[in-house]
Amino acid sequence: MVLHVLVLSVGSFAVGTGTFVVTGVLPDIAEALSVSVASAGLLVSVFAVTFAIGSPFLVSAASGVERRRLLGGALTLFALANVAAALAPSYSVLLGTRVVAACGAAVFTPIASAVAAGFAPPGMRGGPSRCAR
């Protein structure tokens, strides 16, 4: 069980890092792609909006898929989209890869949280943590 939680944690860390790392390099992205920093900032906004709007629909659509497969597929999609983003030749391609990455993250994050919560004893699910006492 500890290994499973570790894998979910590392996956969540990777998704979180991949989500927000763009913010720190916006000026570099803007310069490399010859766009304004404000336009480059849309990479963060588009990701966030896609994640927020897409997550309920994507998770519902994938409800029949076994969780392990779903987690692996979502994380793979997220990783491949980020590789494509690193190689993107233009702003529009980069924007598209961020949308695809957001879809992977939008599936992985809530499913990973639900699976991790399932490892907790029934009396501790959704309640105060031991640290809060």
Report the SS3 class of residue 53: helix
> CA-CA distances (angstroms) from residue 25 to 7, 38, 50, 63?
27, 12, 20, 36
Q: Is 55 left (phi over 0), alpha (psi -120 to 50) or beta?
A: alpha
State the DSSP code for 132: G
Structural domain boundaries of the chain? 2-119
pLDDT tens digits along 76-125: 999 999 999 999 999 999 999 999 999 999 999 999 998 988 887 777 76
pLDDT tens digits along 45-57: 999 999 999 999 9
Full-model pTM:
0.88
Taking the CB of residue 48, how many other CB atoms lie within 10 A of it?
14
Statement: residue 128 has pLDDT above 70: no
